[in-house]
Structure 1
Amino acid sequence: MKNVLRLRSASKVNVFNELGEWDGNISDLSKSGGLVELNEKTREPPQGVAPHVHLVCACLKKTPTRTLLEKATEVNVSQISFIKTANTDGANVRLVGKWLIDGKARDVVREGSEQCGRLDVPGIDPDIADLKTLIGNAQQGGTTVAVCRERSPSSVPLFDFAASLPPSSPSMIVVGPEGGWSPAEEEWFESEGNAISVSLGNNVLRAETAAILAVGVLGNLRTTVV
């Protein structure tokens, strides 16, 4: 706030969390942090129940990574994990790993929440995760897992998959790398039988486009009003 936004003590700010948004005034500000005195509450949390949607995506290049983080946040992703697959470029793994370590990924989703008016910030796994471990833990916790496999004959349309889920049930959507899944990974998906294969249509989508579309369908279209 001090170095980038050039704010000072007594500057007016809006602060938010999952409980709402408030007007406030900065009462103390330093390089390491600051204090805000809260005034009037200006916004209540949205009236609705949004399902928990966990996005898992292979590491991408710089611009696609930023786009994925920004837009997935705008369409209500709950959690984001990055993975390394057989066809993931090593340079992409290093870039995403650095963004996770130095907080760049967290900054992007925070800015995305502020831009779109969300009162919460998606969670981001701090390390590049192992796909099989992620899927196994998710299924043990009652999360339904879907893997984007457009060319698989066993894939069902994403909209049909989303329609089959109860409105508030948690889901995980897994998106592969720019070069597609390897034969060994395809074989593992088939042999496991636990993750559902889904298709996002006839067109071949970029990884970040597929991720944003899938999160939008699984999140926004299943939100229920209470």
Structure 2
Amino acid sequence: MANFYLLEELADAPVGGLVEVTGAEAKHIAAVARTRAGERLLVGNGRGLVIEGTAEQVTPAAVSVRVEQVRRADAASPRVLLAQALAKGDRDELAVQAATELGVDGVIPWQAERSVSRWSGPKLEKGRDRWAAIVREAAKQSMRPWLPEVAALASTKDLVGLAATHRVLVLEPSARHPLASVVPDARELVLVVGPEGGIAPAELAALETAGAESVRLGDTVLRTSTAGPAAIAVLNAALGRW
């Protein structure tokens, strides 16, 4: 199977034409993947365009790919977004990585009341950049034509505001209704996952008052690193993606 690389500046490329991959992706193709001339590659722009072709010239500075096939994928509709609470260690990062591989369309970092990890000062930009890098690598690994966006750090108030325009589903182990019973409509979906200590009662009340729906995955309690990806898998089936 051909390896997949992202070149955000990639534009429409005619079959038979040449596409030049430069920068970090070219270095990875040549020095890490050790790709040789004649091997096949996939290159996408993260906005639905994917070209398939054969490497003709490979150096760490630039890789020339002869285009053999061009594909354009529509963006998923309705979109599924993950509002992932910041968590200690790498548990939030594991959630973001798996969610991207499973098809999430966007990620919202959430500074929940009970989040042990805090993004402030220099950590704010560094944390978002770290999540964006994780999303990018996971999208490449899973060969996704659309690159999910990592939004700015959100507060609980921000999530409450989303309930006016999105269908917000809060994963809560004590909820009466299972996620599997949710019938998606035309609204974009936002899955809200709390930190290790769970969602604070005041936060849950504010979300529900705004119209969010509390749902549970099952009779067991999952870690913050696995709850979101598990919920995305359930929604993939409900949306007909799987």
Alpha-carbon distance, 1:224 to partner: 5.8
Q: Is the 8 A contact 1:60 1:96 kept in 2?
A: no
Q: How many residues align?
A: 210
Structure 2, unaligned stretches of length 5 or more? 1-23
Structure 1, unaligned stretches of length 5 or more? none
Change (3 A) 1:205 1:96: farther
Deviations 1:54-81 (A, max 9, x none): 1101102343233212210111100101
Aligned with 2:168: secondary structure? strand
Tell whether 2:168 aligns with 1:145: yes
Tell whether 2:67 aligns with 1:39: yes
Distance in 2 separating the partners of 1:115 and 1:143: 29
Aligned residue among 72, 79, 91 for 1:64: 91
Change (3 A) 1:36 1:120: farther
| Paired position in structure 2 for 1:176 | 194
Residues 1-226 of structure 1 mapped to structure 2, 5 A cutoff: 1=24, 3-5=27-29, 6=31, 13-17=41-45, 18-23=48-53, 25=55, 30=61, 36=64, 38-41=66-69, 44-45=71-72, 50-89=77-116, 91=117, 93=119, 97=124, 99-101=126-128, 103-125=129-151, 127-136=152-161, 138-140=162-164, 142-152=165-175, 155-161=176-182, 164-166=183-185, 169-190=187-208, 192-223=209-240
Distance in 2 separating the partners of 1:117 and 1:3: 19
Q: Is the 8 A contact 1:52 1:219 kept in 2?
A: no
**Highest RCO, 1 vs 2 (Cα 8 Å, sep ≥ 6):** 1
The structure in which a higher percent of residues are helix is: 1
Deviations 1:195-219 (A, max 9, x none): 0111111101101211101122223
Alpha-carbon distance, 1:175 to partner: 0.6
Q: TM-score, normalised by structure 2?
A: 0.72
Q: TM-score, normalised by structure 1?
A: 0.76
Aligned with 2:190: secondary structure? strand
Percent identity (aligned): 25
Aligned with 1:165: secondary structure? coil
Deviations 1:16-38 (A, max 9, x none): 141233226468865xxx67555
Return 107-116 or 75-84, whichever deviates more: 107-116
